[in-house]
Amino acid sequence: MTESLSRRHFLSAAGAGAASVWIPRSTEVKGFTAAEMREQASGGRLAAGVSMWELDTPCLCVDLDALEGNLDRMQTTVARNGIASRPHAKTHKCPAIARMQLATGSVGICTAKISEAEVMFEHGIEQILMTTVNVTPPKIRRAMQLRKRCAGFIQAVDTAANARELSEAAKEAGVVADIVVDIDPGGHRTGITAGAPALELAKLVDTLPGLELKGMLCYDGGAQHVSGFAARKERALGSLEAAVGTKVQMERSGLDTGIFSGGGTGTYNIDHETPGLTDVQVGSYVFMDAQYLGIGGEENPEVYTDFQPALTVMTTVLNAQYEGRATTDAGAKANTINRPWPIVKGETGMSYTSGSDEFGSIRYEDNASRTYNVGDKLEVIVSHCDPVVNLYDQLYGIRGDTVEVVWPVAGRGKSI
Amino acid sequence: MTESLSRRHFLSAAGAGAASVWIPRSTEVKGFTAAEMREQASGGRLAAGVSMWELDTPCLCVDLDALEGNLDRMQTTVARNGIASRPHAKTHKCPAIARMQLATGSVGICTAKISEAEVMFEHGIEQILMTTVNVTPPKIRRAMQLRKRCAGFIQAVDTAANARELSEAAKEAGVVADIVVDIDPGGHRTGITAGAPALELAKLVDTLPGLELKGMLCYDGGAQHVSGFAARKERALGSLEAAVGTKVQMERSGLDTGIFSGGGTGTYNIDHETPGLTDVQVGSYVFMDAQYLGIGGEENPEVYTDFQPALTVMTTVLNAQYEGRATTDAGAKANTINRPWPIVKGETGMSYTSGSDEFGSIRYEDNASRTYNVGDKLEVIVSHCDPVVNLYDQLYGIRGDTVEVVWPVAGRGKSI
């Protein structure tokens, strides 16, 4: 079977992680609700251990050993490569994890939304680069109010009109706003065109009274999930070439290019080869997910094993009376419908789908490593971590099979 | 062009609804944050009108005229057909809308989760049928505690073992729990097999202390989205045939069949032809969505026009500097990635996708009815209402273009 192992099997095996410990299903199991777990966790940390199998489901769990290993792997790698990490908090939306990232060497965090940035600052995070432009008057005002309280808040801009609005709002708020120019890597989703347009904008920002140019940002989201290390490297380095040229032009014009932020989890060990890039906006590496497992890595072309799958949804079997299948309580509202589908952790020969809003569906293959009874609990490795995290109010930090911490997902739903 | 109108065009036109009133984009626009809107809306209702175009985005809006029309259409139809409606609150998760449904004649509501049922009861809803089985000890205890306070709470069961557990828990809690037997319509997702197995279970429930049999439930989710009225009718009536036989057997055995609940938005005007069916568990009709628009109706085979699209996500254009496209602030975290993609309300010749977590993407066709500038706001008809609602903490009720109410989505995230 060694050579004929399917990719699916590899992916399952990659998620084996902690040994599966099954709690007996009986009325002796106390079971704790989400609210009870919050009460028990004073300041986030639980005084006494609670088995993860006592949690009510669906719930979101992170394996702390895997999470810490992922933080270490990232920080060790970027430090060795002479760049920094500025992790994207849109992935975890947890101030507690942002603090861990800063404590282990990250130079700051990124956020996608002003509401996320506000939440992170309220929870003590003071180095925040917001990667999305703010274009409406209320958001611009909020951004300047945040800047007033948070000296480390950096904003993105990609049009001259917006730069002028930010400058006016900064003056009105009595602040000087730190700005990076967002440069389009070629996908035309966000940012301004590299070369002359970006250079002109950078010069404008540099001259506007309420703004202070701090550099640039160029993020190629599409590069992150390119399958195969060589193809990913070619794409990632190629799509940032024009931005590298712009940076040189900015330097010749005497503009500040102290920040040149880009890259992500898929290219974290490639991005230092982009000349002048200062930091990677890595997000998913903390948790990993089925989407990233499938892209393959430099060492393992089949599975991206650089980081360990740490994030799971725990679910309970509701129906097991039909041949070859079981129904669980974690459907689309608990898992999203991203593909590939979630992967049952530590098991092989079964698939999991979450196409129904309220129900997950397990289908057994002939070689399924086990079957389930009503009331059994299992974990699935999430398909795509960012939108799944956004469905939950709290995240359970698990060590072995014990709940160690309960973290509020303070940025959950902060899409404004 | 009359005959060559594409389905896409039909779908767009179906969403035209209220005229588009564009607020000028300028710093004179005050703009209100989500928190400010909550503050202004004492008891949900706004004292003074706020233009919907002042809302910050992304945000979730419901057109109140369309919502009220949908409630009326449903209630008029089922009443004429001699059955009742028991709308599913998993769709809207809003106690305010549940109250409107009860006030206009619905016999109760359904919920998918115990946490949803608890929230609805806390907000004054007293007739609740929970359509999913509770199989874990904590959930069973919660259900019985809810039953203790809520005389109108009805629970589902689909195995003998679970019935015995419920009976024990009911005795422990000092209540008699009202029960419906959940019968599988053939999809093998939930429920017990119709015929002898279901009959045996009904008899068991009838004899167990602590439980009181109230009837049955048989919901064929797959039937709801079958395209074409005739095909949908055949599927819906066919899949419930075995349950109808079971009901007859139950009656012969002297068992209570006062409730025979099933059906949904796609089959609301078909289900009364299932002999003995008492009520439809309709959910999506209140809001409608792009998925339901595409199934076609009895009157209009192209578009399901029985109900009006009432639910939209309002979004703001962030980037408009690239030919043929624009980027908005409502991606997957604001819209999900359900298909068909959201539909731009009131416009034609453009598509909207929300495949990126943070960004929506508009692509213009040659005949696009308009293009957008940075800062422009637009509404999109949601793809699939249930999981989209589950992303938002509040829902703005709009009359014309004025915000009339701010409803908390009290059941948001209640997936446990």
Of A31, A41, A108, the residue nearest A408 (C-alpha) = A41
pLDDT of residue A40: 78
B371-387: average pLDDT: 98
Q: Report pLDDT digits (tens) over B217-270.
A: 999 999 999 999 999 999 999 999 999 999 999 999 999 999 999 999 999 999
The CA distance from B4 to B350, in Å, is 17
The secondary element (H helix, E strand) that includes residue A34 is helix A34-40
Confidence class for position A41, pLDDT limits 50, 70, 90: confident
Residue pair B282/B262 in contact (Cβ under 8 Å)? The answer is no
Q: Report pLDDT digits (tens) over A187-214.
A: 999 999 999 999 999 999 999 999 999 9
Q: Which residues contact A2 (CB under 8 A, 6 or more apart)?
A: none
pLDDT of residue B49: 78
A132/B356 Cβ within 8 A: no
Q: Which residues contact A214 (CB under 8 A, 6 or more apart)?
A: A154, A178, A179, A180, A256, A258, A259
Of A63, A16, A58, A21, the residue nearest A405 (C-alpha) = A63
Identify which has the larger pLDDT, B88 or B17: B88
Confidence class for position B208, pLDDT limits 50, 70, 90: very high
H helix runs in A240-312, sequence order: 241-252, 290-293
The CA distance from B215 to B262, in Å, is 12
Within chain A, all domains assigned CATH 2.40.37.20 are found at 7-64+304-408
Between A136, A390, A415, which is nearest B375 by CB? A136
Give Cα B285 distance to the centre of its chain: 7
H helix runs in A110-195, sequence order: 114-122, 137-149, 160-173
Three-state SS string across B92-147, please? CCCHHHHHHHHHCCCCCEEECCHHHHHHHHHCCCCEEEEEEECCCHHHHHHHHHHH
Whether B15 shows a pLDDT value over 90: the answer reads no
Whether B296 shows a pLDDT value over 50: the answer reads yes
For residue A398, give both structure tokens: 């698990």
The CA distance from B113 to B115, in Å, is 5
pLDDT of residue B30: 67
Whether A5 shows a pLDDT value over 60: the answer reads no
Which range is least confidently modeled, B24-33, B101-110, B236-245, B263-272? B24-33
A321/B158 Cβ within 8 A: yes
The CA distance from A14 to A311, in Å, is 13
The CA distance from A324 to A320, in Å, is 9
Between A189, A192, A332, which is nearest B359 by CB? A189
Q: Report pLDDT digits (tens) over A56-113.
A: 999 999 999 999 999 999 999 999 999 999 999 999 999 999 999 999 999 999 999 9
Backbone angles phi, psi at A345, to 5 degrees: -70, 130
Which range is least confidently modeled, A268-282, B21-35, B199-213, B301-315? B21-35
- ipTM higher than the 0.95 cut: no
Residue pair A264/A284 in contact (Cβ under 8 Å)? The answer is yes
Looking at the domain that runs over A81-286, which CATH code has it been given?
A: 3.20.20.10
E-only strand ranges, B258-309: 259-262, 279-280
The CA distance from A157 to A169, in Å, is 14
What's chain A's Rg over C-alpha atoms?
23
Find, in chain B, the residue whose alpha carbon is nearest to that of A168: B27
Whether B13 shows a pLDDT value over 60: the answer reads no
Between A112, A137, A393, which is nearest B358 by CB? A112
Which pairing describes strands B211-218 and B192-193: parallel, antiparallel, or unpaired?
unpaired
The CA distance from B103 to A134, in Å, is 42
| pTM score, whole prediction | 0.93
Q: What percent of chain A has pLDDT over 90?
A: 88
Largest Cα separation within chain A, whole Å, is 73
Q: Tell which CATH architecture fits domain A7-64+304-408.
A: Beta Barrel (2.40)
B82-97: average pLDDT: 98
Q: Report pLDDT digits (tens) over B132-188.
A: 999 999 999 999 999 999 999 999 999 999 999 999 999 999 999 999 999 999 999
The torsion of the CA quartet A304, A307, A310, A313, rounded to 10 degrees, works out to: -20
Q: What percent of chain A has pLDDT over 70?
A: 92
Query: Which residues on A lie below 8 Å from B137 (Cβ)?
Result: 26-27, 29-31
pLDDT of residue B17: 36
A140-144: average pLDDT: 98
Find, in chain A, the residue whose alpha carbon is nearest to that of B137: A27
| Mean pLDDT estimate for chain B | 93
Between A132, A142, A336, which is nearest B318 by CB? A132
pLDDT of residue B29: 57
The secondary element (H helix, E strand) that includes residue B395 is strand B394-399
Backbone angles phi, psi at A231, to 5 degrees: -65, -40
A268-278: average pLDDT: 98
Within chain A, all domains assigned CATH 3.20.20.10 are found at 81-286
B168/A135 Cβ within 8 A: no
